[in-house]
Amino acid sequence: MRIGFIGTGVMGSGIIANLLKHDYDLVVYNRTKEHAKDVLNLGAKWADSPAQVARASDVVMTMVGFPQDVVDVYCGQNGVMKAVKPNQLLIDLTTSKPSLAQNLAAKATQRGAFMLDAPVSGGDIGAQKGTLTVMVGGDRDQLNQHLALFHAFGQTVRYFGPAGSGQHAKMANQIMIAGTMTGMCECLAYAKAAHLKLDEVLATVNNGAAANWSLANYGPRILKDDYTPGFFVKHFVKDLRIALDEAAKMHLQLPATDQAKRLYEQLMQQGDSDDGTQALIKLWWK
C-alpha cells in the first residue's frame, strides 16, 4: 500500500517516520521542499503537488496548519480533489473545523472516494514515539479496514461518529488542555513567588491528584527555558477559536476556555506565535 502524505512539519514528520518504520511506501509533498528533507532522507519519495500525491497513492493523509491550508490542499488548483480516485481513502489529521470536515467528506463521496477526519493528540513526543491518540469521524468501515495504518503512529484510535465528529472530539481535547496549560503556568508562578524549588514542586504535584500530561511533558521544558514547539502557540490559538465558535453554535458558554484564548492571544501579540504552548509561562516570568 502506498501512502501519500501532505505536510512535513513537526507532527507530520514524526508520523511519516513511524509509517516508514512500519514498511509503508510513502510519497510526500510540502509547500517548502527543504522542510521535507528529513523524511526524504529516511526514504520517502517526493511529489510536486497535492494532486500528484493523490495520483501516486492508495491512501492520502494530510497534516497541515490551518483550515485554509486544508482547503488549499484539497480544493486548490492542484489539490487532492483534482486527482482523487474511486474508492480512494483520504484522511485529514489536521485539527480543523467540523463543518469543513463534513464539506470535504461530501466532496469525496461525490467522487466515489472516502474521507475521514482524524485529528490527533500527543504533541511532538507522541508523533515521534508513535503513541498519538487519534479521534476519528467518517465512515466506520473504512476506519476498521485501515486500523493497522492508524496504529503505525497512534496508540489509541477512537471512532466518534459521522464526518466532523473527530474534529468535535479534538475540540473537547483542546478545551481540556487549555485548562491544564493555564493551571500549570499559574502553579509554577505561585511556587516561584513562594521561593519553592520548582523541580521538587513538579515532581510532587505530578505524583498527586493534580498530575497531568501538560505538567509532565511541558513543566520540565519550562524549567530549562525551552520553548521549542511541540505544538505552536499560533496553532493552539486557532484551535481555541474553533472550539469557542463551535460552542457558540451550540449556545454553550466556556468562560475558562475563552480566558485561555485571550492569554494565548496576548502571547502572540508580544511576538511568541512560533514558540511552543509552554511559552505561556512568559506572561508571568517577564
Active site residue 170: yes
- Residue tagged 468535535 (cell numbers): 168
| Residue 20 to residue 22: CA distance in whole angstroms | 5
Residue 55 and residue 167 in contact, taking contact as beta carbons nearer than 8 Å: no
Please state whether beta strands 120-121 and 132-138 pair in parallel, antiparallel, or not at all (unpaired). antiparallel
Coil/strand/helix, residue 119: coil
Return the ∠ at Cα 98 (arms to 93 and 99), rounded to 5°: 125
* Catalytic pick among 97, 170, 234, 238: 170
Which set of grid coordinates corresponds to residue 174? 483542546
d(CA 114, CA 108): 6
Distance CA 247, CA 156 (A): 26
Tell me the three cell numbers of residue 107: 466532496
Q: Give residue 22's identity as a one-letter amino acid code.
A: H
201's grid cell: 514542586
How far are the Cα atoms of 19, 26, 173, 284 from residue 43, in angstroms, in the given order?
11, 8, 33, 44
Active site residues: 170
